[in-house]
Amino acid sequence: MGEAEFVRVETSGHVATIRLDRPKMNALNRRVQEEIAEAARLVDADPDAHAVVVYGGERVFAAGADVKEMAVMSYAEMAVHSRALQDCFTAVARIGKPVIAAITGYALGGGCELALCADLRVAGESAKLGQPEITLGIIPGAGGTQRLPRLVGPARAKDLIFTGRHVSAAEALAIGLVDRVVPDEEVYPAALELAATFAGGPAAAIRAAKLAVDHGLETDLDTGLEIERLQFSGLFATEDAREGMTAFAEKRRPTFTGR
């Protein structure tokens, strides 16, 4: 794909930031989607990155897919492209580390769907979220009809998807669409602070916990419990598990190495 043009990765203190920067509104065209997926793969594979923040800058998180690009696509073209579109967002959801979306301004359509791929969402007081695709005569195509109801429940998700209305930060917090609301200028620092709480933790255990929750939600309880059991048992092969339990017995703080 060559050098990234609109998405860059910045790492500081074991926290990696996936920074979207496509003026003016971070419209998610094909190039941006591909660069997001590549950034997700980079931070997932980076042992120095213990947690990840997805950030669109001070003005806007992401105002959705590039409508001008989509408007000229035929059914045949979109049938192919929609698979790539979903795969790009799924790459973010599959980062095996805590991922926090730092939401300023608008997170609409594909922008909201990108935020849904994070584990936690911090929003500014004036942020607006929503799935307005219905106003274009289409539906969400990058996970909105699937991840949104899993997060806020089917009735609330249908309300947002059927109407296409924008949700304030306060309402988003009330329905569980975001997890924390802070003053606009504090969004990125708050997300970094939250991400930093996971730095230095047992990386293999956190990855296992995320996988168990995410995969368990997609299946029946008995299968989910088996997923949990296998992940739980497997961690007993790690140095971190030995260190954690030894430190507990010795009444000291553990020092985890990610091994």
> Using N-to-C axis directions, what is the helix angle for 203-216 and 239-249, rounded to 10°?
110
Alpha helix segments (H runs only) across the chain: 30-45, 67-71, 75-93, 110-116, 144-152, 154-163, 169-175, 187-196, 203-216, 221-234, 239-249
53 close to 118: Cβ distance less than 8 angstroms:
no
Q: How many helices (H) and strands (E) does the chain have?
A: 11, 9
> What is the Cα–Cα distance from 107 to 26, expressed in whole angstroms?
10
DSSP 3-state of 10: strand
Q: Is 113 a catalytic residue?
A: yes
Q: Among the options 38, 58, 113, 193, which is catalytic?
A: 113
Q: Which of 3, 58, 133, 193 is catalytic?
A: 133
How far is Cα of residue 24 from the mean position of the Cα atoms in its chain?
22
How do strand 167-168 and strand 128-130 relate by DSSP bridges?
antiparallel
Q: Is-contact 174 115, C-beta < 8 A?
A: no
Contacts of 40 (CB under 8 A, 6+ apart): 18, 91, 92, 94, 95
| Pairing outcome for strands 106-108 and 120-124 | unpaired
- Structure-token pair, residue 248: 């507990």
Contact 231, 208 (CB under 8 A): yes
Q: Any idea which residues carry the catalytic annotation?
A: 113, 133
